[in-house]
Amino acid sequence: MPFRILRKRVLIPGRTSLLELEAPHIAASARPGNFVILRVNDKGERFPLTIADADPVSGVISIVFLVLGKSTALLDSLPEGDCIADVCGPLGRATHIRKQGTVLCVGGGTGIAAMHHIAKGHHRAGNRVVAVIGARSGDLLLFHRELSSFCPEVLVSTDDGSVGRKGLVTEILETRLAEEREVKEVVAVGPVPMMRAVVETARPFGVPVTVSLNSMMLDGMGMCGACRVSVGGEIRFTCVDGPEFDGYLVDFSELQQRLSALKEQEKLSYELYCRCGGRHDQA
Amino acid sequence: MNSIAAAEAGMIKPKISRVPMRCQEPAERVRNFEEVALGYNLEEAITEAGRCLNCKRPLCVGGCPVEVPIPAFISAIREGDLAEALRIVKSTNSLPAVCGRVCPQENQCEGKCILSAKKNPIAIGRLERFVADHFIALEREVSPASPPDTGLKVACIGGGPASITVAGFLGALGVKVSVFEALHEAGGVLVYGIPEFRLPKAAVVRKELSALASLGVEFRTNWVGGKTVSVKSLFEQGYKAVFIGVGAGLPSFFGVPGENLNGVLSANEYLTRINLGMAYNFPAYDTPVYKGLEVTVYGAGNVAMDAARSALRMGAGSVRIVYRRTREEMPARLEELEHAVEEGVILEELAAPLRFEGDEKGRLRSVVLQVMELGEADSSGRRGPRPREGVFRELPTDLAIVALGTGANRVLIEETPELKLNGRGYIEVNERNETSIPGVYAGGDIVTGAATVILAMGAGRRAAKAIAERLGLLPA
């Protein structure tokens, strides 16, 4: 079954895009926190992306990606109407969502996309969701409008100060946690250093922090262990035990290290792809 | 006199010994991923078939989990009727080219062969392979007449050997079978686990799978049982029975310090990258795989042998199998172990990892081993390993592949809480392979724990018979 790209929104040319895919069976059962494993073509590698949104009625799922190597570059090269060879999912445990009050959802970079789906789930469960989003500059802020549609507040920070407060999301988070003592949970999705910093920011306030990890994966269903991560001193598989974990228990240094495990080969693959003008069949 | 005539004349019967199978030379084969064992040609096959005593009460058939009518197909080969031979094999086995290659025949059909008493059993596996390969090479399918359309639908979850067997059996009875496979290619361990040099994918596995299409079997890839599709929803879609064959692929780790360093990985990850991801063709294919100069493999089963031999072919300088007992106790098939040693795999006996050491960037550099010794034999007669107090050694290694075995695949089980499990976390079934949910059957590794392809196929056959009886297609 082909997975057609129904709509492509280029968020940052050559760097970040949002794709809406025709995937009715995935859309029908996808819940916040789930991810998919994709393979762009029949020579492609399998890689995970969090589902940014899913509509069971139209049968469409949305994914957002940052071009980091050959596979994401290849994905970015596909125009609307083209098909992706394989999309498998929904995978991973869904976010544990219950009605509890105010939830602060923090997203950084493309992590905002994944956070969006989780925030929407919390909103639908009756929680008051305050979104905190950050990026290098204002034009890189994803899902700002979508979040604004259901969050009473969307707090923004950018590195260059072009939109919102100049600085880091953790600065906004710290201020907010100091002002508002009724925050029941913080959710953080983004680069590893950001998630680690969110945990450290929340620690003095004693607020639970849920993080969604972006480990390297192969099958995505517990059969290889590439995504293993230390949580509370024990080995956990991000794909079947996660992708969400208690942020206080995650060994972020190890996670960061493991993300670079195949860096040299990923670099070689990407360089060959770029040298061939982005034509994978000549790589 | 040609060999057929000679065989008919009874001249070459059991007096000659088993016809050897030609192999690629070790020095040559460690440089490629092509098949090691080359198979029989027609003359070799007919000679070997001529040795069969055609016993009145064949013990070999009882040794086969899928009950292939062995003497009958061997007779057909001897008579030169290869189409009939394949028809006989395929009457109970949908994957003869696969089984002829990967079954542990020495413990099954060949182990039961009356000639095995003289260490000279008929090479049943090689003959099975020969017949199947012959028609694959001719690109000719020998299948029974098109099955009647019963209008019935059955779903299989998981696309490995157990489900394939169910599909083949029920397909031949006119049931429309859909196989839901979570990966992007069906075949289970045949495509992600067993290496190309033992079981060619395009030349063998895909050919045998596509032959099932003629029985109306449909493979749906990227469908995750329990996630994309639930057991309950399948009944709502009109499937009359569901078979669960999702396997046991969850890799075990030692739980020793340093095991999450870059360069330590499960054999499943290593083999899946290489086999399913075609990483031996990187960068023409995109899946990367870890490269090691000094590779260590932990465990001594068939999966460990596959990983070790793959590492040699990926260009390792040295590959060592680290095992806490000795060569005598290694659980791998003898042939796999011998092939590995011939190719240059070094056996590090009586050693178990205590910890893995890395550099400042988190990359594996060495392993510290606890030296073991064998203690007294236990009740099963197997001598257990025990640590030699205070005796350690360190081996440099930059790639450590852990092949300690695997546990139940959890996704479907966790999403289907009404399935009753046994104490070890596998699905509980009755003697008809039916689970605690009526109309839902299970078989293969998800019931028994990690075992062999052929045992999974045997379970699939049992379940398929029970399903056929349930649907009124076979007398109960």
> What's residue A13's pLDDT?
87
B266/A225 Cβ within 8 A: yes
B273/A235 Cβ within 8 A: no
Q: Identify the residue whose tokens are 């517990």.
A: A222
A225/B268 Cβ within 8 A: yes
Question: Which chain B residues are Cβ-neighbours of A265 within 8 angstroms?
Answer: 282-283, 288-289, 291
The residues pairing with A49 across neighbouring beta strands, listed in sequence order, are A36
Question: Per residue in B146-162, pLDDT tens?
Answer: 778 899 999 999 999 99
Does any CB of chain B come closer than 8 Å to the CB of residue A89? yes
Distance (Å) of CA B295 to CA B4, B305, B393, B396, B473: 49, 13, 16, 9, 53
> What is the token pair recorded at B182?
């979570």
Question: Per residue in A185-195, pLDDT tens?
Answer: 999 999 999 99
Q: Which of B207, B150, B159, B149 is nearest to B179 (CA)?
A: B159
B273/A272 Cβ within 8 A: no
Predicted confidence band of residue B144 (pLDDT cuts 50, 70, 90): low
Q: What's the gap in Å between the CA of A18 and the closest CA on chain B? A: 22
The DSSP secondary-structure symbol of A234 reads E
The whole-number average pLDDT for the span B252-281 is 96
Predicted confidence band of residue B382 (pLDDT cuts 50, 70, 90): confident
Domains and CATH numbers, chain A: 3-91 (2.40.30.10), 102-259 (3.40.50.80)
Backbone φ, ψ for residue A224 (5° rounding): -125, -30
SS3 category, A267: helix
Q: Identify the residue whose tokens are 């040295």.
A: B318
Predicted confidence band of residue B4 (pLDDT cuts 50, 70, 90): very low
Dihedral class, residue B212 (left if φ above 0, else alpha if ψ from -120 to 50, else beta): alpha
Predicted confidence band of residue B53 (pLDDT cuts 50, 70, 90): very high
Q: What's the gap in Å between the CA of A177 and the closest CA on chain B? A: 34
Facing A262 at nearest CB: one of B230, B285, B288: B288
Q: What's the gap in Å between the CA of A138 and the closest CA on chain B? A: 34
> What is the token pair recorded at A27?
């859309």
Given a contact cutoff of 8 angstroms between Cβ atoms, the answer to whether B154 and B175 are in contact is yes
Q: Give helix B82-90 / helix B124-138 axis angle, nearest 10°.
A: 110
Given a contact cutoff of 8 angstroms between Cβ atoms, the answer to whether B467 and B243 are in contact is yes
Facing A223 at nearest CB: one of B265, B285, B409: B409
> What's residue A117's pLDDT?
94
Given a contact cutoff of 8 angstroms between Cβ atoms, the answer to whether B52 and B75 are in contact is yes
> What's residue B3's pLDDT?
47
The whole-number average pLDDT for the span A206-225 is 96
Q: Best residue in B184, B398, B402, B410 to probe A by mutation, most A CBs within 10 Å?
A: B184
Whether B379 has a pLDDT exceeding 60, the answer reads yes
Q: Best residue in B157, B224, B228, B286 to probe A by mutation, most A CBs within 10 Å?
A: B286
> What's residue B104's pLDDT?
92
> Which pTM does this prediction carry?
0.94
Sequence-distant (6+) residues with CB within 8 A of B124 are B60, B70, B74, B105, B109, B110, B113
> What's residue A77's pLDDT?
94
Predicted confidence band of residue A278 (pLDDT cuts 50, 70, 90): low
B361/A261 Cβ within 8 A: no
Q: Using only the alpha carbons of chain B, give its radius of gyration.
A: 23
A46/B228 Cβ within 8 A: no
The whole-number average pLDDT for the span A177-184 is 93
Q: What is the DSSP string of A58-69?
A: TTEEEEEEE--S
Question: Which chain B residues are Cβ-neighbours of A44 within 8 angstroms?
Answer: 286
The whole-number average pLDDT for the span B234-251 is 97
Whether A281 has a pLDDT exceeding 70, the answer reads no
Question: Which chain A residues are Cβ-neighbours of B202 within 8 angstroms?
Answer: none
Question: Which chain A residues are Cβ-neighbours of B285 within 8 angstroms?
Answer: 43, 45
Domains and CATH numbers, chain B: 3-138 (1.10.1060.10), 153-249+408-470 (3.50.50.60), 253-406 (3.50.50.60)
Predicted confidence band of residue B142 (pLDDT cuts 50, 70, 90): low
> What's residue B180's pLDDT?
98
Question: Per residue in B181-196, pLDDT tens?
Answer: 999 999 999 999 999 9
Question: Which chain B residues are Cβ-neighbours of A225 within 8 angstroms?
Answer: 251, 253, 265-266, 268-269
> What's residue B12's pLDDT?
45
> What's residue A1's pLDDT?
63
Q: Which of B347, B358, B357, B295 is nearest to B323 (CA)?
A: B347
- pLDDT averaged over every residue in chain A: 94
% of chain A with per-residue pLDDT over 90: 89
% of chain B with per-residue pLDDT over 70: 96
Does any CB of chain B come closer than 8 Å to the CB of residue A46? yes
Q: Identify the residue whose tokens are 């199998």.
A: B321
Q: Which residue of A has its CA nearest to B185?
A: A86
What is the spatial distance between Cα A265 and Cα A216, in angstroms, rounded to a whole number? 14
The whole-number average pLDDT for the span B381-401 is 93
> What's residue B229's pLDDT?
95
> What's residue A283's pLDDT?
36
B286/A235 Cβ within 8 A: no
Spell out the SS3 assignment of chain B.
Answer: CCHHHHHHCCCCCCCCCCCCCCECCHHHHCCCCCCCECCCCHHHHHHHHCCCCCCCCCHHHHCCCCCCCHHHHHHHHHCCCHHHHHHHHHCCCCCHHHHHHHCCHHHCHHHHCHHHHHCCCCCHHHHHHHHHHHHHHHCCCCCCCCCCCCCCEEEEECCCHHHHHHHHHHHHCCCEEEEECCCCCCCCHHHHCCCCCCCCHHHHHHHHHHHHHHHCCEEECCCCECCCECHHHHHHCCCCEEEECCCCCEECCCCCCCCCCECEEEHHHHHHHHCCCCHHHCCCCCCCCCCCCEEEEECCCHHHHHHHHHHHHCCCCEEEEECCCCHHHCCCCHHHHHHHHHHCCEEECCEEEEEEEECCCCEEEEEEEEEEEEEEECCCCCEEEEEEEEEEEEEECCEEEECCCEECCCHHHHHCCCCCECCCCCECCCCCCECCCCCEEECCHHHHCCCCHHHHHHHHHHHHHHHHHHCCCCCC
Question: Per residue in A111-125, pLDDT tens?
Answer: 999 999 999 999 999
Chain A, chain B: beta-carbon pairs less than 8 Å apart:
125
% of chain A with per-residue pLDDT over 70: 98
The whole-number average pLDDT for the span A278-282 is 50
Question: Per residue in B223-232, pLDDT tens?
Answer: 999 999 999 9
Question: Per residue in A16-71, pLDDT tens?
Answer: 999 999 999 999 999 999 999 999 999 999 999 999 999 999 999 999 999 999 99
Given a contact cutoff of 8 angstroms between Cβ atoms, the answer to whether B154 and B464 are in contact is no
Q: Give helix B302-313 / helix B267-274 axis angle, nearest 10°.
A: 50
What is the spatial distance between Cα A203 and Cα A205, in angstroms, rounded to a whole number? 5
Q: What residue type is assigned to position A36 of the chain?
A: V
Q: What is the ipTM of this complex?
A: 0.94
Q: Which of B475, B445, B473, B476 is nearest to B171 (CA)?
A: B473
> What's residue B378's pLDDT?
80
> What's residue A179's pLDDT?
93
Question: Which chain A residues are Cβ-neighbours of B251 within 8 angstroms?
Answer: 223-225
Predicted confidence band of residue A218 (pLDDT cuts 50, 70, 90): very high
Least confident range from A276-280, B7-11, B84-88, B321-325: namely: B7-11
What is the spatial distance between Cα B161 and Cα B456, in angstroms, rounded to a whole number? 6
Highest mean pLDDT among A159-168, A237-246, A268-277: A237-246
% of chain B with per-residue pLDDT over 90: 88
What is the spatial distance between Cα A247 and Cα A234, in angstroms, rounded to a whole number? 14
Predicted confidence band of residue A279 (pLDDT cuts 50, 70, 90): low
Facing A283 at nearest CB: one of B260, B283, B406: B283
